[in-house]
Structure 1
């Protein structure tokens, strides 16, 4: 009777059923005066004491709640608010490159419908977030993995140059990197390469070298490149770039280009200088000059984001995709996306109105959350040696390898320490012993949980 899109068995696995039972016992014990219960899986800033100020935004947006102004791509005024969000960060998109969706999950669904046929394949990272497999399955698509691998690096130092092995060991760093060779095992029916940067849960961010390899792979195999950058605002180091910088460079907050001024150089105050040329801007009509460099990538590229992380408000259900395509395919692709979106018109008027009011607050909110993430990341790496706690370049999560069966370890931490973590197998780690924790928890609570984990 049910669709073949669904799993044959929708009941919880024995492990997750047991996890819920142990969690209920831990909460009950804490309520009766026992050891406090600490949730290290919290994914909502609101639940971690980091809500965005909403009252002013609601008052500003309220008059738009009753509007019905259907537009397949979303209200132009709301798309322009997204454009301004990127401009504040050095990006240079136009409203014609923005498609609004009700969530990032819906953005995936729209892209799958637009570019894939049943039985086609999506390339997804392993380890990675399991929702991606579910979204593909619901569209009658298959997922095939490419891999992130753990890399050991030794920082150069005078001690290391003198072959002081002890000092070299202390300066070693471990981080996840994209195994670009694993892309070569892609099935013939692969249509989309999905990158996640910053990556959930490893904190990996795409380097320029990795980006070039991914773009080249998509160009050579006639594939679409999709970048999930919902954690893009939360880089924990200056080494991290937004991947659209690799295509467009960084532009000033208010670029000024005209036919009479075919090129112009800009200073970006501490960021690398860029050279914007008029010829990089393609006239899409109606005064819409879109930044599509003539020598840009030969594959379509989509960047997914939304209010869920930008202002910590998943409940508002507003996401978007910003896209690049070669000039000869841009109009065709935009028309196809709008055709799919027009069938649903799922983005509500309140969500779009609130997006316009809240996005100007994103930078201030980002700074507040990033302070929390950095403090907790510092606590974590002080508690665990680098080889057990790979470097986090961005995002809200970290992984720790504790060297035991991750199912047993997760249950034992919950039962004995009252600390809830996520087991590594849930994210398809290829070896036992990994757990995934959120960096969002309040610092004092986070520190106590880490102490209990280290003292297991």
Structure 2
């Protein structure tokens, strides 16, 4: 008999995305006529700003439809260098210290493949986005450290100390954070600086939500610290702040010594980000096109928190950034998987179980307020009726 299972053994360690499972179920329900309220999707629901679309259209008209440098087009790298200097306090050479990628996801993936060796350990927050799969594909081992809900889901420093070992090579930091909306403050970053230096680690700083912040919360880039610059890979992109998820445009910045192995991996993945998207990205960086979306997210966040407070058993630290809330499940529903799937199939309200994001997600679920206030109210009305 022919063996039909030809997958590499490493794929035994790579699960299907729990978020995509919810998304596929939503699609099937909608095909059967169910009105689904989408609060599971980690993307802005807004159209890309017209100025950015016009820049993309102009790039098409001007014939910018071919391969670009593996590093990205010069105008975009120069604009990113200016942005990082002015907004983040980090000075990178646009020629050999910035790489434009096909989304921030690719930036994370090529970094892990280039820097993580077989058996290396990588510290990732719990809960967190899907860093673990990239680490495993590189042959490394993800090791979790806790985020403390009592401090707004900031990294727990005692947990970091317990998690590190002689095999640890890299620490992943994500602020503002998915799925909790937590933001790292100055005191916490100072402590992380000491931890990274004392343990001689590299640091991947995922800053994809940097522009989506509330109540005056401050965004801090680790690489702006002199002791961390040589150790840090800064990852960011255009998907969240500019509603450009389909344009697949991200970037990473790091000292040339770290960029060299990363760009060599990059040469054999997607070669370059879409040329049209890169020209649109130049326009995105020229003004505050993200501000109307952030204002809308702020109003939605307020409404989410108001509705959470009215449901027995549900509690949630107020998010300081991103567009996610990470509350506890309602009273009487300790199993977050059963709660989320039942609510979706019976009421057409889509959330994501907290366990998708790690062990500490048990008893919680993620709400993406990437939908209107009216639809948020509709979702919570259905939830309250169902309860």
User: Which TM-score applies when normalising by structure 2?
Assistant: 0.85
1:343/1:402 CA distance change after superposition, 3 Å: closer
Larger radius of gyration: 1
Equivalent in the alignment of 1:4: 9
SS, match of residue 40 in structure 2:
coil
User: Displacement, 1:319?
Assistant: 1.1
Equivalent in the alignment of 1:28: 32
User: Displacement, 1:331?
Assistant: 4.4
User: Displacement, 1:299?
Assistant: 5.0
Whether the aligned pair in 2 keeps the contact of 1:402 and 1:435 (CA below 8 Å) is yes
Whether 1:396 aligns to 2:374 is no
1:431/1:61 CA distance change after superposition, 3 Å: closer
What's the CA shift string for 1:82-119, capped at 9, x where partnerless? Answer: 12333553544342432222221221222223322112
Decide which structure has greater strand share. 1
SS, match of residue 226 in structure 1:
strand
User: Displacement, 1:195?
Assistant: 0.5
Q: Report the Cα distance in structure 1 between the residues aligned to 2:267 and 2:13, rounded to whole angstroms.
A: 32
Equivalent in the alignment of 1:337: 262
Unaligned runs of 5+ in 1: 31-35, 153-174, 249-292, 324-329
SS, match of residue 370 in structure 2:
coil
What's the CA shift string for 1:260-315, capped at 9, x where partnerless? Answer: xxxxxxxxxxxxxxxxxxxxxxxxxxxxxxxxx5xx33751121111212321122
Equivalent in the alignment of 1:439: 369
Whether the aligned pair in 2 keeps the contact of 1:215 and 1:299 (CA below 8 Å) is no
Whether the aligned pair in 2 keeps the contact of 1:307 and 1:319 (CA below 8 Å) is yes
User: Displacement, 1:449?
Assistant: 1.1
Equivalent in the alignment of 1:111: 111
SS, match of residue 145 in structure 2:
strand
Equivalent in the alignment of 2:159: 182
What's the CA shift string for 1:338-389, capped at 9, x where partnerless? Answer: 443345533342232222233325x22x212112211111111112239702
SS, match of residue 217 in structure 1:
helix
Equivalent in the alignment of 2:182: 204
1:3/1:376 CA distance change after superposition, 3 Å: same
Equivalent in the alignment of 1:83: 81
Equivalent in the alignment of 1:142: 141
Q: Report the Cα distance in structure 2 between the residues aligned to 1:89 and 1:23, rounded to whole angstroms.
A: 40
Q: Report the Cα distance in structure 2 between the residues aligned to 1:218 and 1:8, rounded to whole angstroms.
A: 28
1:439/1:10 CA distance change after superposition, 3 Å: closer
User: Displacement, 1:428?
Assistant: 1.7
Whether the aligned pair in 1 keeps the contact of 2:253 and 2:259 (CA below 8 Å) is no
Equivalent in the alignment of 1:282: none
Whether the aligned pair in 1 keeps the contact of 2:301 and 2:323 (CA below 8 Å) is no
Whether 1:300 aligns to 2:304 is no
1:369/1:353 CA distance change after superposition, 3 Å: same
Equivalent in the alignment of 2:276: 350
1:226 corresponds, among 185, 204, 209, to 204
Unaligned runs of 5+ in 2: 1-5
Is 103-112 or 427-436 further displaced after alignment?
427-436
Q: Report the Cα distance in structure 2 between the residues aligned to 1:308 and 1:349, rounded to whole angstroms.
A: 16
Whether the aligned pair in 2 keeps the contact of 1:136 and 1:142 (CA below 8 Å) is yes
Q: Report the Cα distance in structure 2 between the residues aligned to 1:148 and 1:372, rounded to whole angstroms.
A: 27
Equivalent in the alignment of 2:48: 51
User: Which TM-score applies when normalising by structure 1?
Assistant: 0.73
Whether the aligned pair in 1 keeps the contact of 2:115 and 2:262 (CA below 8 Å) is no
1:19/1:375 CA distance change after superposition, 3 Å: closer
User: Displacement, 1:17?
Assistant: 7.1
